Structure formats: structure tokens, C-alpha cells
Amino acid sequence: MGADLRRWLSPVLLLLLWEVVGRLDLVASGALPALSEILARLWWDRADYPAHVTATLAASGAGFVIGNVLAVLAGLVFVLSPVAERLSRGVNIAIFTLPPIAIAPILTLTLEGMTPRIVLAALGVYFVTMQATVTGLRQYDSRAADVVRAYGGGRAAVMRLVQLRGAVPAILSGFRVAAPNAVLGAILAEFGGGGRFGLGAYLLGSLGRGEPDRLWGIGLVATLVAGLSYAVFALISRRILGATLSLSLNPAAPPADRPVRRAALLGLGAVLLPFALWWFLLWAMQVPEMLGKTPWGVMEYLFVSDSAPVARERLLAALAETLPITLAGLAAGLAFAFGLAVAGRLMPGFTRAFLPVALVTQTMPLVALTPLLVLILGARDGSDLVDHHIGHLLSCLCDDRPGYRDGTACRTGIAACLRGWRMARVAAGHAARLCAVAVRCVAVDGPAGIAGGDDRGMAGNGAGPWKPAEPVAGVSGFRNDLDGGRGQRDGFGRALSRGAVDGAYRPATHGHGFAALTGCDGHCTARRGATGGPAPRPSCCAVSDSAHPADHDMMRPPSTLMVCPVI
């Protein structure tokens, strides 16, 4: 009883604190409403949710299935053929590090209906599941494989009898982590893709009204949806695994190193393949030149065209802004996650107490979280840091805990270290990705102090096409929408002069790095730069909130209201 009480004490205290802080409007003048207010609002809006949740679930479900089927098949191919794995490494890393935020606009422009949502959800699950499949298939028990081979069994028999079934736990844990990703991807595409239903569309539609309690409510529901998807697979894996995990493993040796020349060739192939794929997809989907830049187009933009030095300068300046934040977030998040993992190992009670928090951070779509973080932390580096933090918590915690737990005594230390290092690599990717997310968010709330809008609305105003984001594959995995800022909107009958765009860029880049270069938000900023006037009427209002008189709320100072429509 006493233990039970203690277990509940800290969450209850936290909730109470939240309530008090919310009621007294202590955070950012009411940006953090009390839980009771959020719940009340949730109840008030309850009729809105089913349609949105259903739409999100449909898109994320389809994407989840497609992405996972591809991922498991790819994992199988990679394990059977290390050459294929080497060659695809570039593509895999690109898919992993590609911030969904950067390709959402392209997808929504080039694909129709539900497709962008499904594609983005599928992209979100692919890497996680593929990696889990590869790991699972590789970490088979070499002794069991020896038994199969000692009876004349070949590679196929080992795969069938030992590896496939042995990989099930790993694949399931991949699904578990991937499920919230699918929800996140779908919401993101909804956010960037218009459409009436979907939590992302709802979030977008609600942004302009200056009602933190509803935003929080949507965030909570999104978290719940993602959390449930996580829980479903956690349950399934628990049921399936049962007693089968308790044997120690004698991991098979990793494949031997290849001759240098061959490795170099494969490496070159791995670098070129993503670009080939990029080109091929543009060609296959018949994307107009205006929407989809080829790799050469980006090269031209960066190195050949007249404005190349300017573009490069901007990019480097942005990188200089983003990189330190990314690294700081990475370090803080890793330290925190490792601290947690160690603390959990030393004091089991700690894990129990922290589990709810960990679960929430693991499943909460950053989509929903980032605007709120910006709201709360005042759109400064802090929100980036927190974002990274959470991203790492997500990747490290969920992977660390089994790492610490299932290790036998003799190998716990080493395994944990190795695992830690591997996770650090993964976390670095997260950090880079999340940085793009957070930074983009912050940028809209930028120094200009204007309301950032969303491009969709402008398109809704009858605008023509504009140049969308252009993801550039960098070695470090940074992706940025370089061209987005050029955002010309013929629909407004106003061709922006280069200078105006630059003028709009500068404050944003100056303040917040990459973000200003990232896609849609740039359009608004750019447009404002061109007109030089007050903030344009935000698009989201134009689209879905026309019935609300709250449009002009968007003019309020950033710290109180302006949440950028990230993700």
C-alpha cells in the first residue's frame, strides 16, 4: 500500500503543479493552461474529434503497413546480401535523416489525396523497422545455426529455422517504436497538405484562434493515439515473447571486412544511389521542373547560378546557427537518457516512477509538442534543446532499457557501452532532424515579430504554384529547403524581387539558422518582406477559420500566441 502510494505520489504532485501553474497563467501568459481547462475544452470539442482521429488513423495505418512491409523485405535483402546493404546505405541514411517537414510540402504538391499522408507515415516507419529487422536477423544464435548446418542445412534453412523467428522480437520492437512515427508522419502531412480531416488539419485550423487549451487538447489526443499504437505492439510483443527471451545469446560474428577497393566502390555506389533515386522519382512522378528540383538543379543553385554565393552564404550561416544547437541538444539529451538508464538500473523504483514520463515522451508526436514548447519556452534555443532531449529520450530510453535489462551479468557493461554508442549515432540523427523541426518552428516566431502563416492558405486564396522546398542531401544528413524562400506566388500577382526575399530572409536566418530556409514559412516571411507591410492575413485562418472572428489574433505578439504550424 505504502509503495503504491509512493508510486502515485510524484505523478499526482506533477499534475497538481500543472493545474496550479495553469490556473494562475504563470507560463507565458497562459500558454500553458491547466489540465482541467484542457480537458474541459476537449469535452467541449468532442464532436470534432472522431472524424479527425479516424482520418489520421486511416492514413497512418496504411502508411504503417506499407512502410513496414517494405522495411522487413528490405531488411531481409540486406541481411542476405551485404552488398545490397552497402549500396543502400546512403538511401537508408537519407530516409532516416530526412526531416519529414522538408518533404511534406513536396509530397503534398506532387501527390494527391491521402497519398502524401500515407507516404510520409510509411517513410516514418521504414528506417526504424528496417534497422530492427536487420539487427534481429543478424543477432541470431550462432550455436543454433551450427546445429542446422551440421545437418546439411544451408543459408536458407538457417534463415527459415533460426533467423526469421529469432528476429520477431526485434521486429516487433521496431513496430512498437515505428507506430507513433506513422501517426506523426500522417499528422505532419495533414498539416502540410490541407484537407479537411485529420488531427494535423485540425491543429492547423485551430492555430489561428489563440486557444492554447485546444492546441493542448489536440496534442493530448495525438499523444494518446500514438501512445495507443505503441501500447498495442508492446502488448503483442509481450505476449509473443513470453519465456522465449530468457536464454542467453551467442551472437553470430559480424560479416568479415571486405577488400578495400571493393569497399570503396560500394561506398561510392551508396553515395550516388540516393541521388539516382531522387532523379528517378522526380522523373517517374512527372514532377514539373518548377516543383521538383533535380540534384543538378540544386547544384546549380548552390554553385553555378549568379546567386550561388548568396545561397551558399545563407546556407553556411544557417548551418552555423543550427549545428551548435543540435550538438548541445544531442549532448544534453544523451546525458539525460543515459543518466536515466543508469539510474533505472541502480534503482528499479526510479524506473517505475519515471515510466509514465518516458512513455509520454516516447509517444507524443513532436508535431503537437513543438508549438507548445515554443509557446512555453519563448521560441529560443531552449525549445530546440528540449526537443532534442525528448527525441533522445525516445530513442535512447526505449533501446537502453532492454539493453541494460537483458544483458547477462558478464556482458552488461560492454553491451551497454556498445549499445550506447550505437544509440548515440541514432540519436545524432534524431537531433539533426528535430533541430530542423524546432528551428523551423522558432523561425516563424522570429525576430520580425510577425505572425507566420502557412502556405496552404495562400494557395487557398487562389494562388498558383510556387517553388517548393528542395531537400538537399548533405553528408551530415541535414536537409533543407533551399528554394522555398524564393516562394513566388503568382496568384498574388506579385512577383517577388530577389532583394525583397533576401530582406525577409535576413532577420530570420540571423536569428534562427536553417529555419528561414526551410520551406513554407519562408514564403510568408518572404511575402512580408516584399510588401514591407504588416503581417499578411494568416493563411490558416483563411482556409478553415473564416467563420471565426479570431483572425486578427494572429497579429498578437509572438510570445503569447504565435505558434508556428510546425508539423
Does 161 bind other proteins (CB under 8 A)? Our answer is yes
Task: Evaluate whether 61 touches 81 at the Cβ level (below 8 Å).
Answer: no
- CA atoms of 140 and 252, how far apart (whole Å): 6
Does 258 bind other proteins (CB under 8 A)? Our answer is no
Near other proteins by CB under 8 A: residue from 66, 72, 101, 144: 144
| Residues whose CB is less than 8 angstroms from the CB of residue 77 and which lie 6 or more positions away in sequence, other chains included | 84, 85
Near other proteins by CB under 8 A: residue from 1, 3, 242, 532: 242
- Say which DSSP state 350 is in: H
What is the smallest separation between the CB atom of 252 and other proteins, expressed in angstroms?
12
Nearer to other proteins, 154 or 534 (CB): 154
Name beta bridge partners: 489.
494
Neighbours of 181 (CB within 10 A): 29
Near other proteins by CB under 8 A: residue from 10, 54, 244, 497: 244
352: alpha, beta or left? (left if phi > 0; alpha if psi -120 to 50): alpha
Q: Which amino acid is at 373?
A: L
Separation in Å, CA 112 to CA 82, 224, 465: 36, 28, 15
Does 245 bind other proteins (CB under 8 A)? Our answer is yes
What is the smallest separation between the CB atom of 282 and other proteins, expressed in angstroms?
45
Neighbours of 488 (CB within 10 A): 20
What is the smallest separation between the CB atom of 253 and other proteins, expressed in angstroms?
10
For residue 518, give the nearest of 469, 449, 466, 465 by alpha carbon.
Answer: 469
What is the smallest separation between the CB atom of 83 and other proteins, expressed in angstroms?
21
Q: Could you tell me how far CA 49 lies from the centroid of its own chain? A: 23
Does 148 bind other proteins (CB under 8 A)? Our answer is yes
Tell me phi and psi for residue 557, to 5 degrees. -60, 150
What is the smallest separation between the CB atom of 166 and other proteins, expressed in angstroms?
8
Q: Could you tell me how far CA 354 lies from the centroid of its own chain? A: 23
Nearer to other proteins, 79 or 162 (CB): 162
Does 54 bind other proteins (CB under 8 A)? Our answer is no
What is the smallest separation between the CB atom of 242 and other proteins, expressed in angstroms?
8
Does 246 bind other proteins (CB under 8 A)? Our answer is yes
Does 147 bind other proteins (CB under 8 A)? Our answer is yes
Near other proteins by CB under 8 A: residue from 61, 82, 153, 491: 153
Does 165 bind other proteins (CB under 8 A)? Our answer is yes
Return the range that interacts with other proteins (CB under 8 A); candidates 10-18, 162-170, 329-337, 343-351. Answer: 162-170
Distance from the first to the final alpha carbon of the chain: 43
Binding site for other proteins (CB under 8 A): 141, 143-144, 146-153, 157, 161-162, 165-166, 168, 242-247, 250
